[in-house]
Amino acid sequence: MSITMSTPTHITVLLEETIEALAVQPGGRYIDCTLGAGGHALAILERSSPGGQLLGIDADPEAIAAARTRLEAYQSSILLVNDNFINLEAIATEHDFSPVHGILFDLGLSSPQLESSGRGFSFKGDEPLDMRLSSSQEVTAADILNTSSEAELTQLIRTLGEERHSRRIARYIVQERPIETTLQLVGVIERAVGSRRGRIHPATRTFQALRIAVNRELENLSSALKQATGLLGLGGRLVVISYHSLEDRIVKRFMQQEAKEARLRLVHKKVITPSLAEVHFNPRSRSAKLRAAERITLPREVGRDQTVY
Ligand SMILES: C[S@@+](CC[C@H](N)C(=O)[O-])C[C@H]1O[C@@H](n2cnc3c(N)ncnc32)[C@H](O)[C@@H]1O
């Protein structure tokens, strides 16, 4: 799982837009639920100085280590926790870190994880089909591939990969397993549906489906968004950057529902996407969608003063 010298650096996506959406202010208190390489976190600390504080969370211990180095200048203002954001509320409570001015989710994976974690997130090289963000998780992508029924695989690849050839791919997987490595899986998919069609590689959607399943990405996001709302002080901002339609749908529906129930107010009329210049400079940013909402009411049962503005 070690990252080598040639580790690609992660280019932070929608940086200015995120800082603006979070309305970062000096002395503010923020939670970055997806610390990654610490790019957003660093900007939050710079803009909230003097007196800003940041609680950074990441499920991947290597991300925490890299961010700790990058944020060294702000040592006394940060608290970094290696955990899954499904435990957001418990982490904030344990560290007495609420109410807060802003909470950020920059979902998905960082470039080092995708390209050189050795965990099979990408199929550029031949790697074991692991795909876990943390080795403390039990189920790997290979486990799912090699133990699920054909019907379960069809369903998983269709719903989490939005892959229209899911049935055929699942049939080939079951016929050719055990499958242990990325290139083995790519070979199976190419035999099932051909080697090239359209703009994306034919294995892309199946890899997405496996990664989402292994890390329970959609369930964790739904739960964490609810927890995040509860941690915001009055006027606090929730900002989420997502990279595929399944995630964005969850975020959009969540914020709309919270707005309907008058807990949150939508900050923007339309979803924020990267400029052409950003996409040109960082092609990975092309699918990013940023949504933001502001806490406008607090639950009656909250006894203490949660006003943070
Ligand atoms: C796109 S990167 C964040 C990059 C960061 N914003 C930056 O600018 O450097 C996403 C990070 O979220 C982490 N992550 C994804 N899902 C998570 C989860 N459920 N709990 C905690 N961390 C998670 C990944 O390990 C990865 O490091």
Over residues 248-256, the mean pLDDT reads 98
* Ligand 1 near 227 CB (within 6 A): no
Residue 276 CA to residue 281 CA, distance in Å, equals 9
- At 1, the pLDDT band (50, 70, 90 cuts) reads very low
Cβ neighbourhood burial of 150 (10 Å; 0-12, 13-18, 19+): middle
Q: Are residues 90 and 239 in the same domain?
A: yes
Domain final position from 158, 189, 215: 215
Evaluate whether residue 186 is within a structural domain: yes
* Ligand 1 near 84 CB (within 6 A): yes
Domain hosting residue 127, numbered range: 120-215
Evaluate whether residue 35 is within a structural domain: yes
Residue 266 CA to residue 290 CA, distance in Å, equals 12
Q: Are residues 226 and 283 in the same domain?
A: yes
The pLDDT tens digits for 203-226 are 999 999 999 999 999 999 999 999
* Ligand 1 near 109 CB (within 6 A): yes
Q: Which of 1, 32, 34 to mutate to test the pocket of ligand 1 (most atoms within 8 A of CB)?
A: 34
- At 2, the pLDDT band (50, 70, 90 cuts) reads very low
| pLDDT score recorded for residue 113 | 85
Cis omega before residue 50 (within 30°)?
Answer: yes
Q: Are residues 65 and 136 in the same domain?
A: no
Residue 40 CA to residue 149 CA, distance in Å, equals 41
Quote the ligand 1 centre to 62 CA distance (angstroms): 11
Evaluate whether residue 10 is within a structural domain: no
Q: Are residues 181 and 295 in the same domain?
A: no
Q: Are residues 102 and 126 in the same domain?
A: no
Evaluate whether residue 136 is within a structural domain: yes
Cβ neighbourhood burial of 82 (10 Å; 0-12, 13-18, 19+): middle
Q: Are residues 44 and 79 in the same domain?
A: yes
Strand order in the sheet with 100-106: 78-82, 53-58, 29-32, 100-106, 232-242, 289-295, 264-266
* Ligand 1 near 247 CB (within 6 A): no
9 Cα distance to chain centroid? 17
Q: Which of 14, 44, 58 to mutate to test the pocket of ligand 1 (most atoms within 8 A of CB)?
A: 58
* Ligand 1 near 57 CB (within 6 A): yes
Q: Are residues 224 and 211 in the same domain?
A: no
Evaluate whether residue 1 is within a structural domain: no
Q: Are residues 58 and 186 in the same domain?
A: no
Q: Are residues 203 and 167 in the same domain?
A: yes
Q: Which atom of ligand 1 is nearest to the CA of 67?
A: 9
The pLDDT tens digits for 69-125 are 999 999 999 999 999 999 999 999 999 999 999 999 999 999 888 887 889 999 888
The beta strand positions in the chain, using DSSP E, are 29-32, 53-58, 78-82, 100-106, 232-242, 264-266, 289-295
Q: Are residues 207 and 222 in the same domain?
A: no
> Mean pLDDT lowest for which of 47-61, 106-120, 124-138?
106-120
* Ligand 1 near 40 CB (within 6 A): yes
* Residues above pLDDT 70, as percent of the chain: 93
Q: Are strands 232-242 and 264-266 parallel, antiparallel or unpaired?
A: unpaired
| pLDDT score recorded for residue 301 | 44
Q: Which of 33, 80, 133, 242 to mutate to test the pocket of ligand 1 (most atoms within 8 A of CB)?
A: 133
CB count in 10 Å sphere of residue 295: 28
* Ligand 1 near 206 CB (within 6 A): no
Quote the number of domains for the chain. 2
| pLDDT score recorded for residue 3 | 37
Write the residue with the smallest CA distance to atom 15 of ligand 1: 108
Q: Are residues 221 and 204 in the same domain?
A: no
CB 112 within 8 A of CB 3: yes
CB 264 within 8 A of CB 238: yes
| pLDDT score recorded for residue 300 | 57
| pLDDT score recorded for residue 308 | 55
233 Cα distance to chain centroid? 23
Q: Which atom of ligand 1 is nearest to the CA of 215?
A: 19
The pLDDT tens digits for 267-302 are 999 999 999 999 999 999 999 999 999 999 876 544
Average predicted confidence (pLDDT) for the chain:
93
Residue 49 belongs to a domain with what CATH number?
3.40.50.150
Residue 191 belongs to a domain with what CATH number?
1.10.150.170
| pLDDT score recorded for residue 306 | 54
- According to DSSP, residue 128 is labeled B
* Ligand 1 near 236 CB (within 6 A): no
Evaluate whether residue 9 is within a structural domain: no
Quote the ligand 1 centre to 10 CA distance (angstroms): 11
| pLDDT score recorded for residue 198 | 72
* Ligand 1 near 52 CB (within 6 A): no
The pLDDT tens digits for 179-192 are 999 999 999 999 99
Please list the alpha-helical segments (H only) found in 48-87. Answer: 61-70
Domain final position from 198, 215, 232: 215
Domain final position from 190, 215, 240: 215
Evaluate whether residue 4 is within a structural domain: no
| Sequence-distant (≥ 6) Cβ neighbours of residue 213 within 8 angstroms | 141, 144, 156, 160
Residue 240 CA to residue 40 CA, distance in Å, equals 12
Evaluate whether residue 30 is within a structural domain: yes
Q: Are residues 101 and 236 in the same domain?
A: yes
